[in-house]
Amino acid sequence: MEGQTKSNLIAAVLVLIVLVLAAWYAATRQKHYTYTALSQIEYTPATGTPPFLTFTFAQPLVQGQVVGTTATLLGFTVSENSPTPPSVAQPLINAILQKLPFVPTLGLAQNTVASNTLPSGVLPTGAMKITGLGAMRFVVPRRQ
């Protein structure tokens, strides 16, 4: 009988350890939200008034999924009829696609986010309004 009690106690401790690890993982893992309806990027040169980059989505953004996060542009295809031609827009898009995260600011319109952070290598050029289709990921920071 003593061996049975010892085995039950070991099993109970192992189950408790697994439950504690699962709860810790659920509480500390990063959450991310991906929006695939990015339809426009506006660039104002660093000599202008911030924000320097404004991203417009075809759908409203959920404030709790954007505010306090870091954002990364996952991809953007410039449309052929974009106000800024693809050949002119592509160097800026490539610089933003370096997957360097930035902290977005939710715009007054619920479908825009803005950033005063410019990727390295962006040279002062004229303002750009780039239309197309893209995706952006918002990552909620891990709890410490």
pLDDT at 129: 95
Report pLDDT digits (tens) over 132-143.
999 999 998 765
Q: CA-to-CA distance for 111 and 140, rounded, in angstroms?
A: 18
Q: Is 126 helix (H, G, I), strand (E, B) or coil?
A: coil
Q: Is 37 helix (H, G, I), strand (E, B) or coil?
A: strand
Q: Has residue 14 been placed in a domain? A: no
Residue 43: which CATH number?
2.40.30
Residue 72 predicted with pLDDT over 60 = yes
Q: Has residue 99 been placed in a domain? A: yes
Q: Has residue 16 been placed in a domain? A: no
Q: Has residue 11 been placed in a domain? A: no
Q: Has residue 9 been placed in a domain? A: no
Q: Has residue 75 been placed in a domain? A: yes
Q: Has residue 79 been placed in a domain? A: yes
Report pLDDT digits (tens) over 79-125.
999 999 999 999 889 888 886 788 898 888 889 999 887 766 666 67
Owning domain of residue 85: 31-140
Q: Closest Cα partner for 115 from 142, 133, 136?
A: 136
Interior angle at CA 111, CA 106 and CA 115, nearest 5: 40
> What is the rounded radius of gyration, in angstroms, for the C-alpha atoms of the chain?
23
Total domains, the chain:
1
Instruction: Tell which phi-psi region holds residue 68, choosing left (phi > 0), alpha (psi between -120 and 50) or beta.
Output: left
User: CA quadruple 50, 39, 121, 68: dihedral positive or negative?
Assistant: positive
Label the pairing between strands 70-78 and 128-140.
antiparallel
Q: Has residue 1 been placed in a domain? A: no
